[in-house]
Structure 1
Amino acid sequence: MADEEKHKTDESRRQFLKNSGYFAGGLVGGGILGSVIGWQVDEDTQNQTQGEQTDQGNQGGPNFNRALKFFKNQEEFQRLSAATERIFPEDDNGPGAIKLGVPYFIDHELAGEYGNNDRLYMNGPFHEGTPYQGFQSRLKRKQIFKEGLRVMEQEAQNSHDDSFVNLDQEQQDEILTKFQNDEVKLRGVKASDFFGMLRESTLAGAFADPLYGGNTNMEGWRMKEFPGSQMSYMDEIGSEEFVEMEPRALYDHLH
């Protein structure tokens, strides 16, 4: 029965990713990382997540990447975590968003320039743009995430009379798909715009350098056999065969 249940879970995961139209490999190849520089768990998993105090490159000391900077409401952060796990779930290939620290990556991004739209023109007029113009909203990204998470919980209560974090995976996928298809209404922004930001940020957090809070122990890179931040490829560049390398993070060059 356990194997059958796991198979159903894997099928649900693959179907959602297929329907979303985004795959991790395609995003990395498409340069999404250049554009973007809690949780539904049981008690044991939550304690493990909250208790992670060391990581590779910071052995023996506090892991400050596991400190919240933007979210003050723990319920919001748990909702964000559950949503990211459905977008990038754990499977036989490796860890999912929660174990990779993706929710913390997003939290830190929202607390900084990304969340405050510091590099975007934010004066009016604000008109609905074409599909090629991206989102057109007077809201900052941090406000869009807040609004999206609010409506996510509202939709869960209206549809299933329970919190989003308590729903099963298929129910969570159902709600996220409604956001993707603009079947729910948000104030000041399209639901699909929020979903796009959530999806891009989730995948960026899975594959960004661990310095930014995600990609714990470079596990995201290991899944793709990505070498990370190597100092040089002089000894490998002439090889006609694929060279498997131990990935290196930015903090490795500080020692």
Structure 2
Amino acid sequence: MTEENNEKSGAENLSRRKFIRNSSYAVGGLAVGGVLGSVIPWGTEDQDQQQQAAKQVKNYNNALMYFSQAEFQTVQAAAERIFPEDDNGPGAKELGVGFYIDHQMAGSYGFNARDYMVPPFFHGEKEQGYQGRLKRREIFRIGLREMQNYSHQKFKKGFTEIAEDEQDKVLSDFADDKVNLSTISASGFFDMLRSMTLEGVYSDPLYGGNKDMDAWKMRNYPGDQMNYTEIIADDNFQEIEPRSLRDHM
């Protein structure tokens, strides 16, 4: 190898080493800016801005799995009248009860997966509950449609468009079987709607309702605690922050 080639090769090696060295500095800078930078309080955002950004994180549990948008709006409005917002705290709508009911209709509960659904079907007594071939998801869809029909018949508007006292009247007429339906029981549908509304209010947020555990907080209910061994022998009343099943992961 000639002297000229040796010099050229040495220059290339120096250039390559310089590039690698500079690249490592750049990577190190990214590490400091990306990892350590997220830990070091640089003062670019105040605490309020950070909290606001955290609140804007999307809740992917708030997604429809069964209802149409129109059906969902009707469910929300009806549930809100059953469990309305008041001075004690939020109502069914803000607590996400509509999503809870939607998810239940899309799952095994809505399909009556654990119920005996083989004919023949007989007309049972009211105390026996529902006796028939329709699945809960089908009953709910029919019930919502009949609520809209009855609302138009009585008040010339859809259920979501009428005043709250008029909505209460529609729900009361269903509860008292004053609405004549050929396919389902009006009171049976209302009982299911009311029961599922309360379930959505007080169930674990994992299932779509009880947003931020606010319903538990209204009743000072501790939620899903693993144990109470630290306070069980204490005679003094203890306030415990509620926990969801998600908090144990």
Pick one of 183, 188, 200 that aligns with 1:193.
188
Cα distance in 2 between the residues matched to 1:69 and 1:142: 12
Which residue pairs with 1:84 in the alignment?
79
Counterpart code for 1:237? I
Instruction: Count matched residues.
Output: 196
Which amino acid in the other structure matches residue 166 of structure 2? Q
Select which of 122, 144, 147 maps to 1:149: 144
* Structure 1 stretch displaced more, 122-131 or 219-228: 122-131
CA RMSD of aligned residues (A): 1.4
Query: Matched residues in 1 for 2:116 and 2:223: separation?
Result: 33
Partner Cα distance (2:122, 2:184) in 1: 11
By how many angstroms is 1:186 displaced? 2.9
Q: How does 1:204-219 map to 2 (within 5 A)?
A: 204-219=199-214
Question: Could you say what secondary structure the match of 1:115 adopts?
Answer: coil
Is 1:133 paired with 2:128? yes
Stretch deviating more after TM superposition (152-161 or 58-67): 58-67
In the alignment, which residue of structure 2 is the partner of 1:168? Answer: 163
In the TM superposition, what whole-angstrom CA distance separates every residue of 1:46-105 from its partner, at most 9, and x where no partner exists?
xxxxxxxxxxxx97753121010001x211111111000000000011100000000000
- Find the residue that maps to 1:116 and give its secondary structure: coil
Work out the percentage of aligned pairs sharing the same amino acid: 49
Instruction: Choose the corresponding residue for 2:223, options 222, 228, 231.
Output: 228
Deviation per CA, 1:215-254, whole angstroms, max 9, x where unpaired? 0000010011100111210011112233211000011111
Task: Give 4+ residue runs of structure 1 displaced > 6 Å after superposition.
Answer: none
**Once structures 1 and 2 are overlaid, which stretch shifts more, 104-113 or 134-143?**
134-143
Aligned to 1:94: 89
1:67 maps to what in 2?
63
The answer to whether the 8 A contact 1:139-1:188 is kept is no
Aligned residues of 1:148 and 1:186 also touching (Cα < 8 A): no
Cα distance in 1 for partners of 2:86, 2:200 equals: 17
Structure number, greater radius of gyration: 2
In 1, the alpha carbon distance for the partners of 2:99 and 2:211 equals 11
For 1:242 and 1:193, the matched residues in 2 are separated by: 41
What CA distance in whole angstroms lies between the structure 2 residues aligned with 1:247 and 1:144? 34
User: Which residue does 1:48 correspond to in 2?
Assistant: none
Query: In the alignment, which residue of structure 2 is the partner of 1:240?
Result: 235
Q: State how far apart, in whole Å, the 1-side matches of 2:80 and 2:55 are.
A: 26
Where structure 1 has 5 or more consecutive residues not aligned to the other structure, the ranges are 1-57
* Kept after mapping to 2: 8 A contact 1:128/1:136: yes
Return the offset for 1:130.
1.6
Report the Cα offset of residue 158 of structure 1.
0.5
Q: Which has the higher helix share?
A: 2
Q: Which moved more, 1:176-185 or 1:109-118?
A: 176-185
Superposition pairs of residues 8-87 of structure 1, within 5 angstroms? 61-71=57-67, 73-87=68-82
- TM-score (structure 1 length as normaliser): 0.74
Using CA pairs under 8 Å that are at least 6 residues apart, name the structure with larger relative contact order, 1 or 2: 1
